[in-house]
Amino acid sequence: MFKVGEYVVYGMNGVCKVEQIGPMEMSGIDSDKEYYTLLPLYTKGSRVFTPVDNKKVVMRSVISKQDACNLIDDFKDFEEIVVTDDKKRELAYKEAIKTCDCKELIRIINTVSKRKEERLALGKKMSACDERYLKQAKDCLFGEFAVSLKISKDEVEDFILHRMSLKDMASAS
């Protein structure tokens, strides 16, 4: 069970702060059942109520700073999602996003980045599907990394690029 004040990842809501734990005070709701009241960090003015025993939506602790740094160090090593059919690729992206797993989000980012380079080399633009899932993957991943690394969400991409360039320089020497 999570504690009040703790940060969690809650499905597509991303990082949330546990504001309250207890019964809901609404008519028609079982007053014996415990609920989390969650405040999504990146959706201002929003609250989420979910049963403590919820099994339908992924809910987990935010990763540690060390785990975030390890993932960044291995960023380029994550396999791409290799699906040639556009509809099946979109389904693969959708399933990967639903896991709320940082490794899967990185796989989407790597896949879309490579596809973008390939398409630009052919004089084509990025597909709307790739663009949509790249944005979702970055929003989820960068939101969690921001909390783990104690920096703003806007600083995460630069942090990742800087850390990756330091790693590249170290491996080149």
State the average pLDDT over residues 158-164: 94
| Gyration radius of the chain over CA positions | 18
pLDDT band at residue 173 under the 50/70/90 scheme:
low
Domain boundary among 61, 85, 106: 61
Whether 68 has a pLDDT exceeding 80, the answer reads: yes
Tokens 């398409």 found at: 119
Whether 53 has a pLDDT exceeding 80, the answer reads: yes
Q: Do residues 143 and 99 share a domain?
A: yes
Contact status, residue 92 vs residue 105, Cβ threshold 8 Å: no
Going by C-beta distance under 8 Å and a sequence separation of 6 or more, which residues neighbour residue 8? 2, 15, 16, 17, 18, 38, 59, 60, 61, 62
Question: Structural domain tally of the chain?
Answer: 2
Q: Do residues 91 and 155 share a domain?
A: yes
Residue 126 lies in a domain: yes
Q: Do residues 48 and 84 share a domain?
A: no
Q: Do residues 125 and 150 share a domain?
A: yes
Residue 1 lies in a domain: no
Distance CA 45, CA 10 (A): 16
Q: What is the pTM of this model?
A: 0.90
Residue 43 lies in a domain: yes
